């Protein structure tokens, strides 16, 4: 009886835990040249180099959320979302990138979206930069130009001033690791520039300074009245050693991946991780440089960045193992195949399953281990999971594999909360609806709702995962039975979705694990 009580307790989320879902502007809005919107770097890339995208597809129309935002709000309400995370298109709001030219059309669009969400009781969580930089600023160097941090800070100031009376949670930058490291190492993401020697690290520095400047502006000028919170969303690839002898390399890789984008802001001392400063100095000398290609911070910059957060926002999708590169072996590009800087090669456990994306093998335990590592490094600072999602392909509403994914990852979130003591405030599923998935175009589907991209109306249809997630939110538990709520079933009328989610309730492994957890918790109190 006692174990059963604890089991039920551990399968539920704490009071106040919030569930959300997310999208980003370029991936769903479409209307790429509507009214006076400016050109973004993704507009330029897909139009000038369409071969980089599967099937030469683009986001010109996407899910047409610019015109169908009411449908997206209704979907969010049907799911029962506590919050909806979306991003502002910088060039839609500021066509030239700066505040000397403001789009009233763009301003109206985001005001309408925010107000409609609030009318439905859904909190808007707003990202300022989800990769669609104004092309005019990229022509001046983009994130490799130190002035970019000032331009971003002024954009943030304007957004805070017109939306901050209703928006209480802000994400400044989404996945700087992808923007800087993968972007400049591969050249396949906008702006389509390959320069792996200096650009990733210049971008790394300037994007963190941009966040910190925006945070300090909010803290000084807007927080007293608006009482919101601000952070940046880091993409966290959990990294484990391939063999016990690779433990030091794995820790170095974590600092190279997560630390470079977290240590300057979340650590007590600030600045770059010391281990990375050392390895980059050594690597730069081997390349023939007299100074490190990892740019230095001034004392003023270190002070400004340190503590520039209200919580830690993380996007987590997958895990890698790491081993040393063999003599003569090219590690490839970070963070896909490896890192020449730390002489490490990333590999995948062959037992790990996949969704549609071959970049994202599934290892649910990774999210819990990643959060535990963050707590060890920076303290229990409060965490918001801002992205976690599963990819499928084709038209398939009966997505039981996505239901299992959500359940498995949320189970690890529960363990992180109840066993590790992590202060996790919420979970965001990526994505609310199918969207333009960058290099994969429309071949990869992450949505709780399917979007028919062949239909002129971009019809949205709920998948089984939408029904399951709605019940998780309703019951505050991963063990919800979708058949017990007639209201939910009426919202999700599709017959194909009605009999899926319940098959994932009470798996033998989960129940056994729950009993073990309950026993350990009880005995720890004696």
Active site residues: 175, 387
- 413 closest CA partner among 446, 376, 371, 378: 371
- Under the phi-then-psi rule, with left for phi > 0, alpha for psi from -120 to 50, and beta for the rest, what region is 22? beta
Size (the chain), residues: 526
Q: Residue 64 belongs to what H/E stretch?
A: none
User: In a 3-state reduction of DSSP, which class is residue 243?
Assistant: coil
HSE, CB side, 13 Å, CA atoms: give it for residue 212: 24
In contact, 413 and 385? CB cutoff 8 Å: yes
Map 103-123 to HEC letters.
Answer: CHHHHHHHHHHHHHHHHCCCE
In contact, 74 and 113? CB cutoff 8 Å: no
CA distance 181 to 42: 17
Q: Count the Cβ atoms, other than its own, within 10 Å of residue 457.
A: 10
- 312 closest CA partner among 261, 381, 372, 254: 381
Q: Count the Cβ atoms, other than its own, within 10 Å of residue 251.
A: 16
């Amino acid at each position: 009886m006692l174990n059963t009580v604890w089991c039920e307790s551990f399968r539920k989320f704490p009071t106040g835990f919030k569930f959300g879902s997310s999208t980003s502007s370029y991936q769903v809005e479409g209307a790429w040249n509507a009214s006076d919107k400016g050109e973004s770097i993704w507009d330029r890339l897909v139009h000038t180099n369409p071969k980089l995208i599967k099937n030469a597809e683009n986001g010109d129309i996407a899910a047409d959320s610019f015109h169908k935002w009411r449908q997206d709000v209704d979907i969010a309400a049907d799911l029962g979302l506590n919050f909806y995370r979306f991003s502002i298109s910088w060039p839609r709001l500021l066509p030239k990138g700066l505040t000397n030219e403001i789009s009233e059309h763009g301003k109206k669009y985001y005001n309408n979206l925010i107000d409609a969400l609030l009318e439905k009781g859904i909190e808007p969580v707003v990202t300022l930069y989800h990769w669609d930089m104004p092309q005019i600023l990229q022509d001046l160097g983009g994130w490799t130009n130190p002035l970019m941090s000032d331009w971003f800070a002024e954009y943030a100031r304007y957004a805070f001033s017109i939306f901050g009376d209703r928006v209480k949670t802000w994400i400044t930058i989404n996945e700087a690791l992808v923007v800087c490291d993968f972007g400049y190492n591969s050249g396949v993401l906008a702006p389509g520039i390959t320069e792996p020697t200096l650009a990733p690290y210049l971008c790394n520095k300037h994007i963190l300074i941009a966040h910190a400047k925006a945070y300090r502006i909010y803290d000084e000028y807007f927080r007293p009245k608006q009482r919101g919170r601000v952070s940046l969303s880091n993409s966290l690839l959990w990294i484990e050693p391939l063999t016990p002898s690779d433990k030091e390399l794995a820790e170095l890789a974590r600092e190279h991946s997560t630390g470079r984008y977290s240590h300057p802001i979340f650590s007590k001392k600030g600045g770059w991780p010391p281990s990375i400063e050392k390895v980059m100095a050594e690597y730069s000398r081997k390349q023939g440089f007299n100074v490190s290609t990892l740019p230095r911070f001034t004392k003023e910059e270190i002070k400004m960045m340190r503590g520039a957060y209200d919580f830690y926002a993380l996007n987590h999708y997958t895990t890698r193992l790491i081993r040393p590169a063999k003599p003569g072996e090219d590690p490839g590009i970070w963070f896909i195949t490896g890192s020449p800087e730390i002489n490490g090669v990333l590999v995948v456990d062959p037992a790990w399953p996949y969704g549609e994306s071959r970049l994202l093998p599934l290892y649910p335990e990774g999210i819990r281990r990643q959060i535990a590592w963050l707590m060890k490094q920076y303290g229990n600072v409060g965490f918001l999971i801002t992205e976690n999602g599963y990819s499928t392909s084709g038209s398939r509403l009966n997505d039981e594999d996505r239901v299992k994914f959500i359940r498995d990852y949320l189970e690890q979130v529960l363990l992180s909360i109840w066993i590790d003591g992590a202060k996790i405030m919420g979970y965001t599923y990526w994505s609310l609806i199918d969207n333009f998935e960058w290099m994969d175009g429309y071949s990869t589907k992450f949505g709780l709702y399917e979007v028919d991209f062949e239909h002129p109306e971009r019809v949205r249809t709920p998948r089984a995962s939408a029904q399951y997630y709605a019940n998780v939110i309703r019951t505050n538990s991963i063990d919800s039975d979708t058949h017990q709520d007639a209201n939910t079933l009426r919202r999700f009328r599709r017959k194909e979705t009605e009999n899926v989610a319940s098959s994932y309730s009470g798996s033998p492994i989960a129940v056994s694990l729950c009993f073990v957890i309950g026993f350990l918790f009880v005995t720890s109190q004696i």
